[in-house]
Amino acid sequence: MPDEFKFRTEDFRPEEIENQYVSGVQEKEIVALLKAPSPVILEGSRGTGKSFLIRVAELQLWNSFASDKVLPVYLSFLRSSLIHTKDPDQFHHWMLAKLCVATLKSLRKSGVAIPSAYPFNILAGGEVPQSPDSLTRLESLVSEYELSYQDPEKAIERGNVPDVQSYKDAVEEICTTYGIQRVAVFFDEAIHIFRPEQQRQFFTLFRDLRSPYVNCNAAVYPGVTSFGPVFELTHDATRHRIVRDVSTSDYIEQMREIALKQADESLKENIERNRENFSVLAYSASGNPRILLKTLAQAGRLRSSDVSEAIKGFYRTGIWTEHTALATSYIGQRVFIDWGREFLEKTVLPETKSKNDRRIKEGMKETTCTFWIHRDAPEAAKHGLRLLEYTGIVLKGDDGIRGTRSELGTRYTLNLGCLLSLEPSPASTGLEIAKSLSIKRFTEFGANNSAYPSQKDRDVVLTEAESLTVLKAQLAKSISELDLTHFQFTSLIQAGYTSIGLVLKAREWELIQRLDYVGEKRARRIKNAANSAVLEYLSG
Amino acid sequence: MSNATAEYYLKLNSNSRTSIVESTAAPERFGQAQASIEELVAWTKLRVFGPENVAMSSALNEAVTGLYLVAGGAYRPALTALRLFLELSLASIFFSANRLELAEWVAGNKDIFWSQLVDYDNGVLSTRYTKAFFPELSIEIGSFNAKARETYRGLSEYVHGNKATLATTEESLRYSADLMTMWFDHFHSATETVLIALSVRFLKELDDDSISTIAAATRDRIGYIAPIREYIEQNRGR
Cβ–Cβ < 8 Å for A330, A431: no
Instruction: Find which of A95-104, A147-156, A456-465, B200-209 is predicted with most confidence, using mean pLDDT.
Output: B200-209
CB–CB contact A508 B207 (8 Å): yes
Q: Residue B164: is its pLDDT beyond 70?
A: no
Are A111 and B27 in contact by the 8 Å Cβ rule? The answer is yes
DSSP 8-state class, residue A344: I
pLDDT of residue A96: 82
Chain mean pLDDT for chain B? 91
* Predicted local distance difference test score (pLDDT) of residue A348: 96
Q: Which helix (H) or strand (E) holds A379?
A: helix A379-391
Rg of the Cα trace of chain B?
19
Is A375 within 8 Å of A446 (Cβ atoms)?
A: no
Chain B residues touching residue A111 (CB < 8 angstroms): 24, 26-32, 34
Res. A538: pLDDT tops 50? no
A299 in Cβ contact with A373 (< 8 Å): no
Rounded distance, CA B92 to CA B33, Å?
21
pLDDT digits (tens, 9 = 90+) for A28-83: 999 999 999 999 999 998 889 999 999 999 999 999 999 999 999 998 876 665 55
Residue A8: other Cβ atoms inside 10 A: 15
- C-beta of residue A34 within 8 angstroms of C-beta of residue A40: yes
Burial class (CB in 10 A: 0-12, 13-18, 19+), A133: exposed
CA atoms within 13 A on the CB side of A346: 9
Bridge partners for A74 per DSSP: A186
A396: phi then psi, degrees, rounded to nearest 5: -75, 130
- A61: number of Cβ within 10 Å: 22
List CB contacts (< 8 A) between A123 and chain B: 61, 64-65, 68
Which residues fall within 8 angstroms of residue A275, CB to CB, at 6 or more apart? none
Which tens digits make up the pLDDT trace of A362-381? 887 789 999 999 888 877 78
**A253 touches A212 (CB < 8 A):** no
Q: How far is B82 from chain A (nearest CA, A)?
A: 15
Tell me: the pLDDT tens digits for A161-181? Answer: 557 887 888 888 888 888 899
Q: How much is the CA Rg of chain A, to the nearest whole Å?
A: 26
Kindly list the residues from chain B whose CB atom is less than 8 angstroms away from the CB atom of residue A120: 34, 37, 64
Q: What is the pLDDT of residues A457-484, one digit of tens each?
A: 654 443 433 455 556 776 778 888 777 7
Cα A141 to Cα A93: distance, rounded to the nearest angstrom: 9
A345 CB contacts (<8 Å, ≥6 apart)? Answer: A320
Judged by a CB distance cut-off of 8 A, whether residue B230 touches chain A is: no
Chain B: closest CA distance from residue A209 (Å): 23
- Burial, A165: exposed, middle or buried (Cβ in 10 Å; 0-12, 13-18, 19+)? exposed
Nearest alpha-carbon partner for A466 in A334, A332, A338: A332
What is the distance between the alpha carbons of residues B194 and B90, in angstroms, rounded to a whole number?
7
DSSP assignment of A275-307 equals HHHHHHHHHHTTT-HHHHHHHHHHSTT--HHHH
Inter-chain Cβ pairs, chain A and chain B, closer than 8 A: 100
What is the residue-wise DSSP string for B95-141?
HHT-HHHHHHHHTTS----HHHHT-TTTSTTSHHHHHHH-GGGTTTH
- Cβ–Cβ < 8 Å for A135, A100: yes
Condensed to tens digits (0 to 9), the pLDDT of residues B181-190 reads 999 999 999 9
Residue of B nearest to A123 (CA): B65
CB atoms B30 and A111 under 8 Å: yes
| Distance between CA atoms of residues A355 and A442, nearest Å | 9
3-state DSSP assignment of residue B90: helix
- The answer to whether A535 and B233 are in contact (CB under 8 A) is yes
In B43-102, the residues whose Cβ lies within 8 Å of chain A are 57, 60-61, 63-65, 68
Nearest CA in chain B to A118: B41
B contact residues 144-183, partner A, Cβ 8 Å cutoff: none
- State how far the Cα of B140 lies from the Cα of B132, in Å rounded to an integer: 14
Confidence label for A84 from pLDDT (cuts 50, 70 and 90): low
pLDDT for res A536? 37
Is B238–A531 a contact, with Cβ atoms under 8 angstroms apart? Answer: yes
The Cα of B21 is separated from the nearest Cα of chain A by a number of Å equal to 13
pLDDT band at A7 (very low <50, low <70, confident <90, very high): confident
**Which residues have CB under 8 Å from A454's CB, separation 6+?**
none
Give the Cα-Cα-Cα angle A528, A529, A530 (nearest 5 degrees).
90
Which pTM does this prediction carry? 0.81
Distance CA A27, CA A524 (A): 45
Write out chain A residues lying below 8 Å of B208, CB-based: 527, 531
Q: In this complex, do A109 and B221 lie within 8 Å of one another by their Cβ atoms? A: no
- β-strand partners of A216: A185
Kindly determine whether residue B238 and residue A149, on different chains, have CB atoms separated by under 8 Å. yes
Contacts of B229 in chain A (CB under 8 A): 10
Which residues on B lie below 8 Å from A504 (Cβ)?
238
Q: Do A111 and B24 touch (CB under 8 A)?
A: yes
Neighbours of A317 (CB within 10 A): 11
Q: How sure is the predictor about A537, in pLDDT bands with cuts at 50, 70 and 90?
A: very low
Question: Are residues B26 and A82, on separate chains, in Cβ contact within 8 Å?
Answer: no
Cis peptide bond N-terminal to A72, omega within 30: no
Q: Give pLDDT, residue A99.
A: 87
- The confidence score (pLDDT) of residue A540 equals 30
ipTM summary value: 0.86
Cα-based angle A523, A526, A529 (whole degrees, multiple of 5): 150
